[in-house]
Amino acid sequence: MDREERRRLRKQGHEDGPLLPAPGMEEVGRYFNAGNFEAAGEILEEILSVDPKNFEGNFGLGLVRAAEGKAAMAVSFFKTAAAVRPRDAEAHFNLGLALFQTGEPEEAAAAYRRSIEIAPNAATWLNLGILYQDTGDLAAAASYAKAIDINPRQAQAHNNLGNVRAQAGDREGAIRSYETALEIDPGNAAARSQLNAARARTIQGWHLPMLADTARNDAYEKAITQAVKKKKGAHVLDIGTGSGLLAMMAARAGAETVTACEINIPLADIARQVVSENGFADQITVIGKSSEKLVVGKDMARPADIIVSEIVDVGLLREGVLTTLSHAVQTLAAKGAEMIPASAEILAVLVEAPALRRVNPLSEISGFDLSAFDVFRDPGYRKIFLANQEHKLLSRPFPVAAFDFRTFRPGDPNHFDTLELEAEILEDGAAQAVVFWFELRLDEETVISTSPASGKTHWGQAIQFLDTDIPVCKGDRQAVTALLGIQEISFFLPVGKKTN
Ligand SMILES: C[S@@+](CC[C@H](N)C(=O)[O-])C[C@H]1O[C@@H](n2cnc3c(N)ncnc32)[C@H](O)[C@@H]1O
Protein backbone atom coordinates (compact mmCIF):
# COMPACT_ATOMS: atom_id res chain seq x y z
CA MET A 1 0.00 0.00 0.00
CA ASP A 2 1.49 3.37 -0.96
CA ARG A 3 1.20 6.64 0.87
CA GLU A 4 -1.68 7.94 -1.28
CA GLU A 5 -3.68 4.76 -0.88
CA ARG A 6 -3.22 4.90 2.94
CA ARG A 7 -4.29 8.56 2.97
CA ARG A 8 -7.40 7.77 0.93
CA LEU A 9 -8.42 4.84 3.13
CA ARG A 10 -7.72 6.79 6.30
CA LYS A 11 -9.77 9.76 5.17
CA GLN A 12 -12.59 7.47 4.25
CA GLY A 13 -12.28 5.60 7.51
CA HIS A 14 -12.23 8.82 9.52
CA GLU A 15 -15.33 10.03 7.80
CA ASP A 16 -16.98 6.66 8.39
CA GLY A 17 -16.14 6.56 12.13
CA PRO A 18 -13.23 5.49 14.34
CA LEU A 19 -10.30 3.68 12.73
CA LEU A 20 -9.79 0.27 14.34
CA PRO A 21 -7.17 -0.71 13.38
CA ALA A 22 -5.94 2.25 11.40
CA PRO A 23 -4.88 1.39 7.88
CA GLY A 24 -1.13 0.98 7.74
CA MET A 25 -0.72 -0.32 11.28
CA GLU A 26 0.68 -3.58 10.02
CA GLU A 27 3.34 -1.68 8.14
CA VAL A 28 4.05 0.38 11.27
CA GLY A 29 4.59 -2.86 13.18
CA ARG A 30 6.97 -4.17 10.53
CA TYR A 31 9.00 -0.95 10.40
CA PHE A 32 9.05 -0.70 14.19
CA ASN A 33 10.25 -4.27 14.65
CA ALA A 34 12.94 -3.70 12.03
CA GLY A 35 14.14 -0.64 13.98
CA ASN A 36 13.09 1.76 11.23
CA PHE A 37 11.47 4.23 13.63
CA GLU A 38 11.49 7.06 11.11
CA ALA A 39 9.28 5.22 8.62
CA ALA A 40 6.99 3.94 11.38
CA GLY A 41 6.72 7.46 12.80
CA GLU A 42 5.86 8.93 9.42
CA ILE A 43 2.87 6.65 8.95
CA LEU A 44 1.67 7.29 12.51
CA GLU A 45 1.95 11.04 12.05
CA GLU A 46 -0.14 10.73 8.90
CA ILE A 47 -2.78 8.90 10.93
CA LEU A 48 -2.80 11.64 13.55
CA SER A 49 -2.93 14.39 10.93
CA VAL A 50 -6.32 13.03 9.94
CA ASP A 51 -7.47 11.87 13.38
CA PRO A 52 -5.50 13.49 16.23
CA LYS A 53 -7.33 11.43 18.88
CA ASN A 54 -6.70 8.10 17.23
CA PHE A 55 -5.69 5.68 19.97
CA GLU A 56 -3.36 3.49 17.85
CA GLY A 57 -1.74 6.54 16.33
CA ASN A 58 -0.98 8.10 19.72
CA PHE A 59 0.00 4.86 21.39
CA GLY A 60 2.19 3.85 18.43
CA LEU A 61 3.86 7.24 18.15
CA GLY A 62 4.50 7.14 21.90
CA LEU A 63 6.31 3.84 21.42
CA VAL A 64 8.27 5.20 18.46
CA ARG A 65 9.35 8.38 20.27
CA ALA A 66 10.29 6.38 23.36
CA ALA A 67 12.37 4.03 21.20
CA GLU A 68 14.07 7.08 19.66
CA GLY A 69 14.91 8.30 23.18
CA LYS A 70 12.47 11.25 22.93
CA ALA A 71 10.80 10.58 26.26
CA ALA A 72 9.08 13.97 26.65
CA MET A 73 7.34 13.55 23.28
CA ALA A 74 6.44 9.97 24.20
CA VAL A 75 4.79 11.23 27.40
CA SER A 76 2.53 13.54 25.45
CA PHE A 77 1.38 10.79 23.03
CA PHE A 78 0.81 8.24 25.82
CA LYS A 79 -1.15 10.84 27.79
CA THR A 80 -3.48 11.33 24.84
CA ALA A 81 -3.77 7.56 24.33
CA ALA A 82 -4.58 7.07 28.03
CA ALA A 83 -7.15 9.87 27.89
CA VAL A 84 -8.78 8.34 24.82
CA ARG A 85 -8.90 4.90 26.45
CA PRO A 86 -8.75 5.37 30.22
CA ARG A 87 -9.15 1.59 30.81
CA ASP A 88 -6.18 0.63 28.65
CA ALA A 89 -3.58 -0.75 31.10
CA GLU A 90 -0.78 -0.71 28.50
CA ALA A 91 -1.26 2.97 27.78
CA HIS A 92 -0.86 3.79 31.49
CA PHE A 93 2.07 1.40 31.82
CA ASN A 94 3.92 3.00 28.90
CA LEU A 95 3.05 6.45 30.17
CA GLY A 96 4.68 5.39 33.48
CA LEU A 97 7.82 4.23 31.66
CA ALA A 98 8.09 7.48 29.72
CA LEU A 99 7.44 9.65 32.80
CA PHE A 100 10.14 7.75 34.67
CA GLN A 101 12.47 8.55 31.76
CA THR A 102 11.66 12.26 31.95
CA GLY A 103 12.41 12.29 35.67
CA GLU A 104 8.85 12.53 37.00
CA PRO A 105 8.78 9.60 39.44
CA GLU A 106 5.60 10.55 41.28
CA GLU A 107 3.55 10.87 38.10
CA ALA A 108 5.19 7.71 36.76
CA ALA A 109 4.27 5.77 39.92
CA ALA A 110 0.67 7.03 39.62
CA ALA A 111 0.52 5.83 35.99
CA TYR A 112 1.91 2.39 36.94
CA ARG A 113 -0.57 2.10 39.80
CA ARG A 114 -3.44 3.01 37.48
CA SER A 115 -2.26 0.32 35.05
CA ILE A 116 -2.11 -2.23 37.91
CA GLU A 117 -5.64 -1.26 39.05
CA ILE A 118 -6.91 -2.02 35.56
CA ALA A 119 -4.88 -5.17 34.97
CA PRO A 120 -2.30 -6.36 37.54
CA ASN A 121 0.77 -7.41 35.64
CA ALA A 122 4.24 -8.67 36.65
CA ALA A 123 6.08 -6.26 34.33
CA THR A 124 4.25 -3.26 35.80
CA TRP A 125 4.97 -4.32 39.39
CA LEU A 126 8.60 -4.87 38.36
CA ASN A 127 8.86 -1.37 36.91
CA LEU A 128 7.10 0.15 39.90
CA GLY A 129 9.69 -1.66 42.04
CA ILE A 130 12.52 -0.21 39.93
CA LEU A 131 11.04 3.26 40.34
CA TYR A 132 10.67 2.88 44.12
CA GLN A 133 14.18 1.47 44.39
CA ASP A 134 15.53 4.37 42.35
CA THR A 135 13.88 6.87 44.68
CA GLY A 136 14.99 4.99 47.81
CA ASP A 137 11.42 4.01 48.70
CA LEU A 138 11.18 0.88 50.86
CA ALA A 139 8.02 -0.13 48.97
CA ALA A 140 10.37 -1.51 46.27
CA ALA A 141 10.65 -4.92 47.99
CA ALA A 142 6.86 -5.32 48.16
CA SER A 143 6.51 -4.37 44.48
CA TYR A 144 9.08 -6.96 43.40
CA ALA A 145 7.35 -9.53 45.61
CA LYS A 146 4.05 -8.78 43.81
CA ALA A 147 5.77 -9.17 40.44
CA ILE A 148 7.08 -12.56 41.63
CA ASP A 149 3.62 -13.60 42.91
CA ILE A 150 2.21 -13.02 39.44
CA ASN A 151 5.16 -14.47 37.56
CA PRO A 152 7.51 -16.54 39.74
CA ARG A 153 9.81 -17.11 36.74
CA GLN A 154 10.74 -13.44 36.30
CA ALA A 155 14.51 -13.52 36.92
CA GLN A 156 14.88 -9.74 36.96
CA ALA A 157 12.35 -9.34 39.77
CA HIS A 158 14.26 -11.91 41.88
CA ASN A 159 17.56 -10.22 41.07
CA ASN A 160 16.23 -6.75 41.93
CA LEU A 161 14.63 -8.04 45.13
CA GLY A 162 18.09 -9.42 45.97
CA ASN A 163 19.55 -5.92 45.54
CA VAL A 164 16.91 -4.35 47.80
CA ARG A 165 17.50 -7.03 50.44
CA ALA A 166 21.28 -6.57 50.23
CA GLN A 167 20.84 -2.81 50.68
CA ALA A 168 18.66 -3.46 53.73
CA GLY A 169 21.38 -5.67 55.22
CA ASP A 170 19.42 -8.91 54.68
CA ARG A 171 22.34 -10.87 53.22
CA GLU A 172 20.70 -14.28 53.50
CA GLY A 173 17.53 -13.05 51.79
CA ALA A 174 19.62 -11.39 49.06
CA ILE A 175 21.53 -14.60 48.43
CA ARG A 176 18.28 -16.59 48.15
CA SER A 177 16.92 -14.08 45.62
CA TYR A 178 20.08 -14.12 43.48
CA GLU A 179 20.14 -17.92 43.58
CA THR A 180 16.55 -18.06 42.35
CA ALA A 181 17.30 -15.53 39.59
CA LEU A 182 20.17 -17.77 38.46
CA GLU A 183 18.08 -20.94 38.60
CA ILE A 184 15.64 -19.26 36.21
CA ASP A 185 18.28 -17.58 34.08
CA PRO A 186 21.70 -19.24 34.53
CA GLY A 187 23.34 -16.71 32.19
CA ASN A 188 22.27 -13.68 34.25
CA ALA A 189 25.66 -12.04 34.73
CA ALA A 190 24.39 -9.34 37.12
CA ALA A 191 22.80 -11.91 39.44
CA ARG A 192 25.97 -14.04 39.29
CA SER A 193 28.30 -11.19 40.22
CA GLN A 194 25.95 -9.87 42.93
CA LEU A 195 25.58 -13.38 44.37
CA ASN A 196 29.37 -13.69 44.53
CA ALA A 197 29.67 -10.31 46.25
CA ALA A 198 26.88 -11.13 48.74
CA ARG A 199 28.48 -14.48 49.57
CA ALA A 200 31.88 -12.84 50.05
CA ARG A 201 30.28 -10.38 52.48
CA THR A 202 28.52 -13.24 54.28
CA ILE A 203 31.68 -14.60 55.72
CA GLN A 204 33.67 -12.43 57.99
CA GLY A 205 37.09 -11.30 56.81
CA TRP A 206 38.88 -13.71 59.11
CA HIS A 207 37.57 -16.93 57.53
CA LEU A 208 40.21 -17.14 54.82
CA PRO A 209 43.26 -16.18 56.97
CA MET A 210 41.90 -18.67 59.54
CA LEU A 211 41.79 -21.47 56.96
CA ALA A 212 45.30 -20.50 55.86
CA ASP A 213 46.55 -20.86 59.46
CA THR A 214 48.09 -24.29 58.98
CA ALA A 215 49.46 -24.43 62.55
CA ARG A 216 45.87 -24.06 63.80
CA ASN A 217 44.52 -26.60 61.32
CA ASP A 218 47.26 -29.12 62.12
CA ALA A 219 46.79 -28.74 65.88
CA TYR A 220 43.05 -29.40 65.51
CA GLU A 221 43.58 -32.35 63.20
CA LYS A 222 46.03 -33.94 65.65
CA ALA A 223 43.63 -33.59 68.60
CA ILE A 224 40.57 -34.65 66.61
CA THR A 225 42.30 -37.71 65.14
CA GLN A 226 43.51 -38.86 68.54
CA ALA A 227 40.09 -38.45 70.12
CA VAL A 228 38.31 -40.25 67.27
CA LYS A 229 40.78 -43.13 67.33
CA LYS A 230 40.22 -43.52 71.10
CA LYS A 231 36.41 -43.75 70.73
CA LYS A 232 35.30 -46.45 68.35
CA GLY A 233 32.07 -45.63 66.50
CA ALA A 234 32.20 -42.04 67.74
CA HIS A 235 29.49 -39.54 66.96
CA VAL A 236 31.15 -36.12 66.64
CA LEU A 237 29.43 -32.74 66.93
CA ASP A 238 31.23 -29.87 65.16
CA ILE A 239 29.87 -26.59 66.47
CA GLY A 240 30.28 -23.74 63.99
CA THR A 241 31.52 -25.82 61.10
CA GLY A 242 32.22 -22.87 58.74
CA SER A 243 33.62 -24.54 55.62
CA GLY A 244 33.14 -28.01 57.16
CA LEU A 245 36.88 -28.39 57.77
CA LEU A 246 36.91 -29.78 61.32
CA ALA A 247 33.94 -32.05 60.59
CA MET A 248 35.81 -33.52 57.62
CA MET A 249 38.90 -34.02 59.77
CA ALA A 250 36.76 -36.06 62.16
CA ALA A 251 35.23 -38.05 59.31
CA ARG A 252 38.64 -38.67 57.75
CA ALA A 253 39.93 -39.91 61.13
CA GLY A 254 37.14 -42.50 61.15
CA ALA A 255 34.24 -40.99 63.11
CA GLU A 256 31.12 -43.03 62.46
CA THR A 257 28.88 -40.00 62.14
CA VAL A 258 29.40 -36.26 62.38
CA THR A 259 26.79 -33.60 62.99
CA ALA A 260 28.11 -30.25 61.79
CA CYS A 261 26.06 -27.19 62.69
CA GLU A 262 26.54 -23.66 61.40
CA ILE A 263 24.44 -20.68 62.44
CA ASN A 264 25.19 -18.77 59.23
CA ILE A 265 22.81 -20.37 56.71
CA PRO A 266 24.60 -19.47 53.44
CA LEU A 267 27.79 -20.80 55.01
CA ALA A 268 26.01 -24.01 56.04
CA ASP A 269 24.73 -24.46 52.48
CA ILE A 270 28.23 -24.22 51.07
CA ALA A 271 29.65 -26.47 53.83
CA ARG A 272 27.13 -29.12 52.71
CA GLN A 273 28.45 -28.77 49.16
CA VAL A 274 32.09 -28.97 50.36
CA VAL A 275 31.34 -32.06 52.42
CA SER A 276 29.63 -33.73 49.49
CA GLU A 277 32.38 -32.79 47.02
CA ASN A 278 34.91 -34.38 49.37
CA GLY A 279 32.91 -37.61 49.53
CA PHE A 280 31.77 -37.32 53.18
CA ALA A 281 28.05 -36.77 52.61
CA ASP A 282 27.23 -40.19 54.09
CA GLN A 283 29.16 -39.52 57.28
CA ILE A 284 28.54 -35.80 57.88
CA THR A 285 25.18 -34.09 58.27
CA VAL A 286 25.39 -30.31 57.99
CA ILE A 287 22.63 -28.44 59.81
CA GLY A 288 22.08 -24.72 59.28
CA LYS A 289 21.27 -23.89 62.90
CA SER A 290 22.82 -22.57 66.07
CA SER A 291 24.04 -25.36 68.32
CA GLU A 292 21.70 -23.94 70.93
CA LYS A 293 18.74 -24.87 68.71
CA LEU A 294 19.83 -28.48 68.09
CA VAL A 295 17.64 -31.23 69.47
CA VAL A 296 19.00 -34.70 70.18
CA GLY A 297 16.75 -37.29 68.55
CA LYS A 298 15.76 -34.82 65.84
CA ASP A 299 18.78 -32.96 64.49
CA MET A 300 21.26 -35.56 65.74
CA ALA A 301 20.42 -39.19 66.29
CA ARG A 302 22.26 -39.46 69.60
CA PRO A 303 24.33 -37.32 71.96
CA ALA A 304 27.86 -36.55 70.83
CA ASP A 305 30.88 -38.51 72.07
CA ILE A 306 33.21 -35.75 70.95
CA ILE A 307 32.41 -32.04 70.70
CA VAL A 308 34.68 -30.05 68.43
CA SER A 309 34.52 -26.28 68.13
CA GLU A 310 36.57 -23.27 67.19
CA ILE A 311 34.42 -20.35 68.15
CA VAL A 312 36.98 -18.07 69.73
CA ASP A 313 37.90 -14.54 68.67
CA VAL A 314 41.19 -12.81 69.37
CA GLY A 315 40.01 -12.01 72.93
CA LEU A 316 38.55 -15.54 73.34
CA LEU A 317 35.02 -14.70 74.50
CA ARG A 318 33.16 -12.53 71.99
CA GLU A 319 31.92 -15.41 69.80
CA GLY A 320 30.07 -16.75 72.84
CA VAL A 321 32.27 -19.79 73.47
CA LEU A 322 31.37 -19.98 77.18
CA THR A 323 27.59 -20.12 76.77
CA THR A 324 27.72 -22.24 73.64
CA LEU A 325 29.96 -24.93 75.08
CA SER A 326 28.19 -24.96 78.43
CA HIS A 327 24.89 -25.53 76.62
CA ALA A 328 26.45 -28.24 74.42
CA VAL A 329 27.94 -30.13 77.37
CA GLN A 330 24.64 -30.13 79.20
CA THR A 331 22.27 -30.95 76.35
CA LEU A 332 24.12 -32.41 73.37
CA ALA A 333 26.95 -34.47 74.88
CA ALA A 334 27.06 -38.11 75.92
CA LYS A 335 28.34 -38.78 79.43
CA GLY A 336 32.12 -38.30 79.58
CA ALA A 337 32.25 -36.75 76.11
CA GLU A 338 35.56 -35.32 74.91
CA MET A 339 35.70 -31.58 74.32
CA ILE A 340 38.11 -30.12 71.77
CA PRO A 341 39.13 -27.59 73.00
CA ALA A 342 38.83 -28.67 76.62
CA SER A 343 39.92 -25.46 78.31
CA ALA A 344 41.46 -22.03 77.77
CA GLU A 345 43.35 -19.36 79.62
CA ILE A 346 43.67 -15.61 78.98
CA LEU A 347 47.03 -13.94 79.68
CA ALA A 348 48.01 -10.30 79.43
CA VAL A 349 50.92 -7.86 79.48
CA LEU A 350 51.20 -4.09 79.96
CA VAL A 351 52.69 -2.22 77.02
CA GLU A 352 53.78 1.21 75.89
CA ALA A 353 52.64 1.62 72.26
CA PRO A 354 53.28 5.28 71.30
CA ALA A 355 52.37 5.10 67.60
CA LEU A 356 48.98 3.46 68.19
CA ARG A 357 48.41 5.73 71.21
CA ARG A 358 48.18 8.69 68.82
CA VAL A 359 44.76 7.44 67.66
CA ASN A 360 43.62 5.79 70.92
CA PRO A 361 41.91 8.10 71.72
CA LEU A 362 41.92 10.26 68.61
CA SER A 363 43.10 13.81 69.20
CA GLU A 364 45.43 15.90 67.04
CA ILE A 365 46.36 14.66 63.56
CA SER A 366 48.45 16.79 61.16
CA GLY A 367 47.71 19.86 63.26
CA PHE A 368 43.91 19.32 63.24
CA ASP A 369 41.75 18.44 66.24
CA LEU A 370 40.02 15.17 65.29
CA SER A 371 38.84 14.34 68.79
CA ALA A 372 35.15 14.44 67.77
CA PHE A 373 35.90 11.53 65.42
CA ASP A 374 36.82 9.40 68.45
CA VAL A 375 33.13 8.46 68.86
CA PHE A 376 33.71 5.92 66.08
CA ARG A 377 36.53 4.15 67.91
CA ASP A 378 35.69 0.96 69.79
CA PRO A 379 37.01 1.66 73.28
CA GLY A 380 37.10 -2.10 73.91
CA TYR A 381 39.71 -4.40 72.50
CA ARG A 382 40.70 -4.98 68.92
CA LYS A 383 43.07 -7.20 67.03
CA ILE A 384 46.69 -6.35 66.32
CA PHE A 385 49.86 -8.22 65.55
CA LEU A 386 52.00 -6.84 68.35
CA ALA A 387 55.25 -7.79 66.58
CA ASN A 388 54.30 -5.40 63.74
CA GLN A 389 53.73 -2.43 66.08
CA GLU A 390 56.14 -0.06 67.75
CA HIS A 391 55.94 -1.11 71.41
CA LYS A 392 57.73 -1.75 74.66
CA LEU A 393 56.74 -4.67 76.90
CA LEU A 394 56.55 -3.25 80.41
CA SER A 395 55.53 -6.27 82.47
CA ARG A 396 55.88 -9.99 82.73
CA PRO A 397 52.84 -11.75 81.21
CA PHE A 398 50.24 -12.32 83.92
CA PRO A 399 47.30 -14.74 84.06
CA VAL A 400 43.84 -13.18 83.78
CA ALA A 401 41.23 -15.96 83.73
CA ALA A 402 40.99 -19.69 83.02
CA PHE A 403 37.99 -21.69 81.83
CA ASP A 404 37.39 -25.45 81.81
CA PHE A 405 34.75 -25.88 79.09
CA ARG A 406 33.67 -29.25 80.53
CA THR A 407 32.60 -27.75 83.84
CA PHE A 408 32.09 -24.02 83.27
CA ARG A 409 28.47 -22.93 83.83
CA PRO A 410 27.56 -19.32 83.06
CA GLY A 411 25.53 -17.40 85.60
CA ASP A 412 23.68 -14.15 85.03
CA PRO A 413 24.54 -13.06 81.46
CA ASN A 414 24.56 -9.41 82.57
CA HIS A 415 26.95 -9.98 85.42
CA PHE A 416 30.61 -8.92 85.27
CA ASP A 417 33.17 -10.37 87.66
CA THR A 418 35.80 -7.96 88.92
CA LEU A 419 39.19 -9.61 88.85
CA GLU A 420 41.95 -7.99 90.90
CA LEU A 421 45.19 -8.83 89.11
CA GLU A 422 48.82 -7.87 89.41
CA ALA A 423 51.52 -7.16 86.84
CA GLU A 424 55.19 -7.43 87.68
CA ILE A 425 56.87 -4.44 86.01
CA LEU A 426 60.09 -5.25 84.15
CA GLU A 427 60.79 -1.86 82.49
CA ASP A 428 60.27 1.83 83.33
CA GLY A 429 57.71 3.42 81.03
CA ALA A 430 54.13 4.58 80.54
CA ALA A 431 51.54 1.82 80.58
CA GLN A 432 49.26 2.75 77.68
CA ALA A 433 47.53 -0.49 76.82
CA VAL A 434 46.87 -4.04 77.90
CA VAL A 435 47.73 -6.63 75.28
CA PHE A 436 46.16 -10.01 75.86
CA TRP A 437 45.88 -13.40 74.20
CA PHE A 438 44.79 -16.95 74.93
CA GLU A 439 46.14 -20.44 75.28
CA LEU A 440 43.62 -22.90 73.91
CA ARG A 441 44.15 -26.40 75.26
CA LEU A 442 42.74 -28.77 72.65
CA ASP A 443 43.64 -31.88 74.67
CA GLU A 444 46.32 -33.04 77.10
CA GLU A 445 49.05 -32.64 74.47
CA THR A 446 48.06 -29.84 72.14
CA VAL A 447 47.88 -26.17 73.02
CA ILE A 448 47.37 -23.28 70.60
CA SER A 449 48.95 -20.14 71.98
CA THR A 450 48.34 -16.73 70.45
CA SER A 451 50.97 -15.06 72.62
CA PRO A 452 53.21 -12.50 70.89
CA ALA A 453 56.15 -14.77 71.70
CA SER A 454 54.79 -17.92 70.10
CA GLY A 455 54.91 -17.01 66.42
CA LYS A 456 52.22 -15.69 64.14
CA THR A 457 48.69 -17.08 64.24
CA HIS A 458 45.82 -15.62 62.25
CA TRP A 459 44.28 -14.43 65.54
CA GLY A 460 47.11 -12.06 66.48
CA GLN A 461 46.64 -10.41 69.88
CA ALA A 462 43.98 -8.25 71.48
CA ILE A 463 44.86 -4.72 72.52
CA GLN A 464 42.84 -2.43 74.74
CA PHE A 465 44.03 1.09 75.41
CA LEU A 466 43.84 2.62 78.89
CA ASP A 467 42.09 5.95 79.39
CA THR A 468 45.30 7.61 80.60
CA ASP A 469 48.99 6.74 80.59
CA ILE A 470 50.09 5.22 83.90
CA PRO A 471 53.80 5.66 84.70
CA VAL A 472 55.37 2.41 85.95
CA CYS A 473 58.86 1.64 87.29
CA LYS A 474 60.89 -1.51 87.08
CA GLY A 475 60.26 -3.62 90.17
CA ASP A 476 56.72 -2.24 90.76
CA ARG A 477 53.86 -4.60 91.19
CA GLN A 478 51.12 -2.78 89.34
CA ALA A 479 47.50 -3.49 90.22
CA VAL A 480 45.32 -4.29 87.19
CA THR A 481 41.55 -4.72 87.30
CA ALA A 482 39.73 -6.84 84.74
CA LEU A 483 35.97 -6.80 84.25
CA LEU A 484 35.00 -10.23 83.00
CA GLY A 485 31.62 -10.84 81.44
CA ILE A 486 30.33 -13.88 79.63
CA GLN A 487 31.28 -12.47 76.22
CA GLU A 488 33.51 -9.53 77.03
CA ILE A 489 36.59 -8.55 78.94
CA SER A 490 38.04 -5.12 79.68
CA PHE A 491 40.89 -3.79 81.76
CA PHE A 492 41.76 -0.70 83.72
CA LEU A 493 44.59 0.29 86.00
CA PRO A 494 43.59 1.80 89.35
CA VAL A 495 45.61 5.06 89.30
CA GLY A 496 48.49 5.17 91.80
CA LYS A 497 47.73 1.67 93.07
CA LYS A 498 50.95 -0.28 93.39
CA THR A 499 50.85 -3.46 95.37
CA ASN A 500 54.45 -3.45 96.66
C1 LIG B 1 35.90 -19.31 63.76
S2 LIG B 1 34.78 -20.07 62.68
C3 LIG B 1 35.40 -21.69 62.60
C4 LIG B 1 34.98 -22.46 61.38
C5 LIG B 1 35.47 -23.90 61.32
N6 LIG B 1 35.01 -24.65 62.46
C7 LIG B 1 36.97 -23.96 61.24
O8 LIG B 1 37.59 -24.16 62.29
O9 LIG B 1 37.54 -23.82 60.16
C10 LIG B 1 33.38 -20.19 63.74
C11 LIG B 1 32.07 -20.46 63.03
O12 LIG B 1 31.15 -20.84 64.01
C13 LIG B 1 29.87 -20.30 63.72
N14 LIG B 1 29.17 -20.32 65.03
C15 LIG B 1 29.49 -19.60 66.13
N16 LIG B 1 28.71 -19.96 67.16
C17 LIG B 1 27.89 -20.94 66.70
C18 LIG B 1 26.86 -21.72 67.31
N19 LIG B 1 26.54 -21.60 68.60
N20 LIG B 1 26.21 -22.63 66.54
C21 LIG B 1 26.52 -22.77 65.23
N22 LIG B 1 27.48 -22.04 64.62
C23 LIG B 1 28.17 -21.15 65.34
C24 LIG B 1 30.19 -18.97 63.10
O25 LIG B 1 29.13 -18.53 62.26
C26 LIG B 1 31.46 -19.29 62.32
O27 LIG B 1 31.16 -19.65 60.99
The structural domains of the chain, with segments of one domain joined by +, span: 3-202, 207-310, 343-492
**Phi/psi at 55 (nearest 5 deg)?**
-60, -50
DSSP labels for 386-437?
Answer: GGGS--EE-B--EEEEEEETTT-----TT--EEEEEEEEB-S-EEEEEEEEE
Query: For residue 311, how far is its CA from the centre of ligand 1 (angstroms)?
Result: 5
> What are the average pLDDT values for consecutive 10-residue runs of the chain, which has 500 residues?
50 41 78 94 94 95 96 97 97 97 96 97 96 92 97 96 93 93 95 89 83 97 98 97 98 98 93 98 98 97 98 96 97 97 98 94 93 90 95 98 95 88 97 98 97 92 95 96 94 72
> Would strands 284-287 and 257-261 be described as parallel, antiparallel, or unpaired?
parallel
- Quote the pLDDT of residue 407: 95
Q: What pLDDT sits at residue 20?
A: 41
Return the pLDDT at 2: 54
319 is catalytic: yes
pLDDT at 15: 40
Q: Is 5 among the catalytic positions?
A: no
Amino acid at 298: K
From the list 68, 319, 345, 427, the catalytic residue is: 319
Categorise residue 271: left if φ over 0, alpha if ψ from -120 to 50, beta otherwise: alpha
The domain 343-492: what is its CATH number?
A: 2.70.160.11
Q: What is the CATH number assigned to the segment(s) 207-310?
A: 3.40.50.150
Distance 387 CA to ligand 1 centre (A): 27
Q: Assess whether the C-beta atom of 447 lies below 6 angstroms from ligand 1.
A: no
Q: In this structure, are residues 80 and 53 in contact, taking their beta carbons and an 8 Å threshold? A: yes
Q: Residue 267: CB within 6 Å of ligand 1? A: yes
CATH number of 3-202: 1.25.40.10
* CA nearest neighbour of 3 among 11, 295, 339: 11
Q: 297 CA distance to ligand 1 centroid (A)?
A: 22
pTM across the whole model:
0.76
Q: Which one is catalytic: 90, 221, 310, 338?
A: 310
